Structure formats: C-alpha cells, structure tokens
Structure 1
Amino acid sequence: MSDGRDAKAPWLPPRWFIRLAWSVHRGVYRVTGSRVGLWRPREQRWGTLRLTTTGRRTGQQRSVIIAYFEDGPNLVGVAMNGWGEGAPAWWLNLQAHPDASVDLADGRRLVRARSATDDERSRLWPRWRGADKNFEAHAARRSSETTVVVLEPRSHGDSATP
C-alpha cells in the first residue's frame, strides 16, 4: 500500500474539507425535508443513500449519507473514512449491530450489513474504479484494505428495526 507521499498520487482535499462537504450535504438533506441530497446510481456513477445504524456504544440511532451502487437486490458501499486511516463509525456500528435501514431517493429499505466475500470484493471493486478515475490511488493512501460493505435486503419481521 502507498503511504500517500507518492508524487503521482492525485490531489485529495484536506480531511477537514471532506468532513465539511459531507456535513453540508447532510445539512441540505435535512433543510430540504429529505427532498434534496439522495440520488440513484447510474451507469459509471454512484448514488447516495442515508444509512441509519444503531450506535455500538450508545444504542442510539446514527445516520450518515454514503455513496453506493446496486448489485441485484443488494446495495454496495465502501467503508472509507474520507480516505483517512481507520474504519468509519458507521461501519463499526454495523459490525456490532448489522441490522439497519436506508433511505433511498425512492423510499426506505431495511437491510442487513456484511463485509463482501473475497470473490464479491474482486467483482465489485472495479465498479468503484469505473466511477472515479482516482479511486484506486485514493484507496492506496490507506495502510489497510478498504472494506466493501454489502447491504442485503431484509423483511420487516427480521430482527430489530433501526
């Protein structure tokens, strides 16, 4: 893995800017009453969803907007932390409590999260590369492999609903 000091690495905004951009995105989503801020993925372009998890320590509901692709009935994201080190809090929450809900541009779904298997990851990772020419270079900045997260649909009767 690259340590991020490679001269050929594409420019990445500072972490504070990435966090600010996502905060503004969440704010626009809230201020518009959920009418703006989520979109469906298209060919070679990811979409956005609002993921609601159960906090691993507090047990309280936590929501975040993440990028995703569809893979049949599943929704697929990557557990990146603004390309910084470590796993994002939402992924740590899902590891402790895999049942969650997602708000999509066309409605809400109940999901159960898991890490992609090796074969799935090999198949799904190139879709992210296809949507962002710098994806692989940004991922290489991390010292550990970025987890591909699969959100599988679950029925209303399955476990607790966040």
Structure 2
Amino acid sequence: MSRMKRRIYVTVNRVTNAVVARLGLRRFRGADLLMLTTTGRTTGEPRTTPLIYHADGDRWIVVASNGGADWEPGWWLNLRAGTAAEVTIGDEVTPVHGTELTGTDREQMWATLNDQVFDYQSYQDKVSRTIAVVALTPVG
C-alpha cells in the first residue's frame, strides 16, 4: 500500500474512532465495545480506539486486526512500547497493560473469538502478518 493510501486509511480510522467514542456506542456488529486509550509512543498524545472485546475473567481480549489492514494498529504498537493505557466500558475506567497471547492460550482464544465474537479469520486470510490476540489486564 502506498504511503498516501496508508495515511488516508489512518485518518479515516481516527475520524471513525472519534465519532464512535463521542456517540458512546457500546456495541458494533453485534459485539460489545470497549474504548482503549493509549498514549502515542512518539507524540505522547492520548489515542482512543473502540475495540470489539471478549471478557475473559478479569481481563478483556481484543484483536489487533486493524480492520484487515496488513500492518499493526497504532494502539498495539503503543502497548508494545509500554505506554500507559486504560479501558473504558460505560462509566468505568480501568488502567491496563496489554500482553500478546501465544501458544495454546492464543489458539483457544482465537477459536472462541471467531466462534462467538467476530470472523477475524477472514481478516487473517487476507494479510501476511499474524494478527495479534491481546489480553488487556487491569494494573494493580
């Protein structure tokens, strides 16, 4: 993808994310939404991204699918860089850290997500990267 197309894609995503956040949507495509706010790893600015999630005990499982784009989403790059993050669901705000699931844990959660939440496999089938499955776990 050209630099210009990627820039347009990112801009459209940011505008869409801002609209979803402002409207306070709690569901998308039949799935529950959370708002993940990370700190930009280069800008230091807060970035809020609505994400479909699956509750798993005391953690929330999200997928770094980036809408099927063949590059990692900014929120995941920010979490991997160790920046501060928080999850907002309704009126509840929780500081979190993100950890990529691997091995059997990833395989089992990937199957659950695809069966119960969203068809992420259709995204995986069209990209060259392995899409990360991320556990957002409360800090403290």
Scaled by the length of structure 1, the TM-score of the pair is 0.70
2:70 corresponds to which residue?
85
1:127 corresponds to which residue?
112
Q: Is the 8 A contact 2:67 2:123 kept in 1?
A: no
Deviations, residues 16-63 of structure 1 (Å, cap 9, x unaligned)? 89x858744631531x4xxx3124x9xxx6311111111111122111
Give the unaligned 5+ runs of structure 2.
1-5
Aligned residue for 2:78, secondary structure, equals: helix
Structure with greater proportional strand content: 2
Matched, 1:118 2:103: yes
Moved over 6 A (4+): none
Matched, 1:102 2:81: no
- Shift in CA distance, 151/98, structure 1 to aligned 2, threshold 3 Å: farther
Aligned residue for 1:82, secondary structure, equals: helix
Matched, 1:76 2:68: no
Give the unaligned 5+ runs of structure 1.
1-14, 156-162
- Following TM superposition, by how much is the alpha carbon of 1:105 offset from its aligned partner in structure 2, in angstroms? 2.3
State the identity as a percent.
30
What is the alpha-carbon distance in structure 2 between the residues aligned to residue 147 and residue 120 of structure 1? Answer: 12
- Shift in CA distance, 90/21, structure 1 to aligned 2, threshold 3 Å: closer
CA RMSD across the alignment: 2.6
Structure with greater proportional helix content: 2
Larger Rg: 1
Count of residues in Structure 1 that have an aligned counterpart in Structure 2:
132
- Following TM superposition, by how much is the alpha carbon of 1:142 offset from its aligned partner in structure 2, in angstroms? 0.8
1:160 corresponds to which residue?
none
Aligned residue for 2:53, secondary structure, equals: strand
Deviations, residues 57-91 of structure 1 (Å, cap 9, x unaligned)? 11221111111111110100000111010100111
Q: Is the 8 A contact 2:86 2:95 kept in 1?
A: yes
What is the alpha-carbon distance in structure 2 between the residues aligned to residue 70 and residue 124 of structure 1? Answer: 11
Aligned residue for 2:35, secondary structure, equals: strand
Scaled by the length of structure 2, the TM-score of the pair is 0.80
